[in-house]
Amino acid sequence: MHWRKYTVLSALFALCLVFDAWVYGSLALEPGVGPALASAARENAPLLHGYIVVGIPLAQHVGTVAGQHVADMAFQDAYPAVTALPAAADSLLFSRSQGPWRGILVVLYWATPVLLVLALLAWVLRSRQTHLMGRARR
Give 10-residue mean pLDDT values along the chain (138 residues): 84 96 95 92 95 95 92 92 91 89 94 96 85 67
CA dist 28 and 113 (Å) reads 20
Reported as type and span, the H/E element at residue 15 is helix 5-28
Does residue 4 lie within any of the structural domains?
Answer: no
CA dist 115 and 136 (Å) reads 42
Does residue 45 lie within any of the structural domains?
Answer: yes
Q: pTM of the predicted model, to two decimals?
A: 0.87
Predicted pLDDT at 2: 63
Does residue 51 lie within any of the structural domains?
Answer: yes
Q: Comparing C-alpha atoms, which of 63, 47, 68, 34 is closest to residue 114?
A: 47
> How many domains, in total, are found in the chain?
1
What does the DSSP assignment read for 46-58?
HHHHHHHHHHHHH
Does residue 73 lie within any of the structural domains?
Answer: yes
Does residue 137 lie within any of the structural domains?
Answer: no
Predicted pLDDT at 132: 72
Main-chain dihedrals φ then ψ at residue 46, nearest 5 degrees: -65, -35
Eight-state DSSP code of residue 32? T
List the domain range (segments joined by +) for residue 82. Answer: 24-124
